[in-house]
Amino acid sequence: MTNKLPIPPEQLQQQSFSLQSIIKQKIKNHGFIRFTEFMHDCLYTPQLGYYSSGLKKFGKHGDFVTAPELSPLFSACIAQRAQSTLPQLAQQNILEVGAGSGLMAAHILAYFEINNIALQHYYILDVSANLKQTQKQSIEKFAPNMLSKVIWLDDLPPNYIGFVIANELLDAMPVHLFSYLQNQLFEKCVTLDEKNNFCFQMQPVLPENAHIYLNQFKTIFSENYTSEINLAVTPWLQKLYRNCEQCVVLLIDYGFDKQTYYHSQRTQGTLICHYQHFAHDDAFFYPGLQDITAHVDFSFVAHAAFDLGFTIEQYTTQADFLLTHNILAHQQPDQITQYQQAQSLKRLLLPDQMGESFKLLAISKNYPALLENFCMRDMRGVL
């Protein structure tokens, strides 16, 4: 597949080579590195990582399209949920973690302004400092009067009270790769071959908490069964729980429950890379120039959150959530806009597009009410 991908221009190739040199030196110093470290460096190395450089990532001129880029109606449904949730909280704040292009923030702020809904602050926390300007431009375009309510953060705020949104955040966390060989679980690490190119190497170093969680699936693992596990979710949730005094958190991502995630027929896991709207599985293709991601095991997320003290409020598909929040009720005035909206809605709602593959998990801390009218199909039972 990678031999069919577009070759980057020379300047970007050199940028990737600079990052590769840093990673290769780490490998030479230690013999190998975990895939979590490789993925982290590819995505987050300052100035060189995919999310830390100035590369265009979102929309038709980037590498992938997210739901907020498809239609402002998606963000309007999130805004509607925030609107119904905030009155039960002591403060009317929204915190978006990983705001991307800023379109969701812009459309939510516009919704609040048009409907004259009280909002104290809209906080944005993003690991990519260079996206701040893009986010600001999006807000200035769609909700300029609300820009004064926006505060950019470098870390989770202490004693936070409000609504929290994390759209396609968990899938960008570095994952451990593992393979099941000769009745044992091995970690799939990264080393160098005789030509100084990246390659995988099995090592018996998979963390103990990964063994504990994965042992429940050993009966369905076949020889060479390969997948991944996101252990970074737990410390992120720990920090979120510690920093939030009262909150409702909406986690939106593509993923499955644990039985579906570690299905016996999904023998090669879910790791996938995105480059100029091509999806492929070569994580070593021009590091720093492509997105590397994995689906979310929502069972793992829900159980980790519950163990910390969060309440698991709701779990459902994206299609169910959007339909419950009346996404089809919005009519456009002209036929061209109606057609464009219909195409976007197909991608957001159809089962073979984003409708079933994307899920929404709502969790809360010290929330005194129930999340009513969240979905028609509550799927918490499968977690």
Q: What is the pLDDT of residue 208?
A: 97
Task: Please check whether residue 158 lies inside any domain of the structure.
Answer: yes
Residue 61 confidence (pLDDT): 53
Residue 167 pLDDT: 97
The residue with tokens 């609300």 is 146
pLDDT of residue 32: 97
- Residue 175: which domain range? 10-372
- Phi, psi torsion values for 357, nearest 5 degrees: -75, -30
Residue 278 in any domain: the answer is yes
**Taking the model in full, what pTM does it have?**
0.94
Distances (CA, A) of 177 to 82, 141, 226, 261, 280: 36, 41, 7, 14, 16
Q: How many CB atoms lie within 10 A of CB 274?
A: 18
Tokens 């009317």 found at: 92
Q: Is there a domain that residue 380 lies in? A: no
Taking each helix axis from N to C end, the angle separating 298-308 and 233-243, rounded to the nearest 10 degrees, works out to 40
Any domain includes 94: yes
Q: Is residue 378 part of a domain?
A: no
pLDDT in tens, the chain (383 residues): 566 888 999 999 999 999 999 999 999 999 999 999 999 999 999 999 998 887 765 555 555 678 999 999 999 999 999 999 999 999 999 999 999 899 999 999 999 999 999 999 999 998 777 788 899 999 999 999 999 999 999 999 999 999 999 999 999 999 999 999 999 999 999 999 999 999 999 999 999 999 999 999 999 999 999 999 999 999 999 999 999 999 999 999 999 999 999 999 999 999 999 998 889 999 999 999 999 999 999 999 999 999 999 999 999 999 999 999 999 887 666 666 777 888 888 999 999 899 999 999 999 999 998 888 999 999 999 99
- pLDDT at position 171: 96
Would residue 2 count as lying in a domain? no
Please count the helices (runs of H) and the strands (runs of E) in the chain.
Answer: 12, 15
Closest CA to 93 of 118, 62, 67: 118
Per the domain annotation, does 225 fall within a domain? yes
Give the phi and the psi of residue 173 in degrees, each rounded to 5: -80, 140
β-strands 150-153, 121-125 pairing: parallel
The residue among 71, 72, 96 whose CA lies nearest residue 82 is 96
Cα(54)–Cα(78) distance, integer angstroms: 28
259 within domain boundaries: yes
Q: Are 359 and 315 in contact (CB under 8 A)?
A: yes
Please tell me the predicted confidence (pLDDT) of residue 60. Answer: 57
Alpha helices in 172-286 (DSSP H): 208-214, 233-243, 258-261
Give the CATH number for residue 125: 3.40.50.12710
* Token couple for 327: 């996404």
User: Cα(325)–Cα(279) distance, rounded to whole angstroms?
Assistant: 31
The pLDDT of residue 65 is 79
How many structural domains does the chain have?
Answer: 1
Residues 6+ apart with CB under 8 A from 285: 2, 5, 273, 275
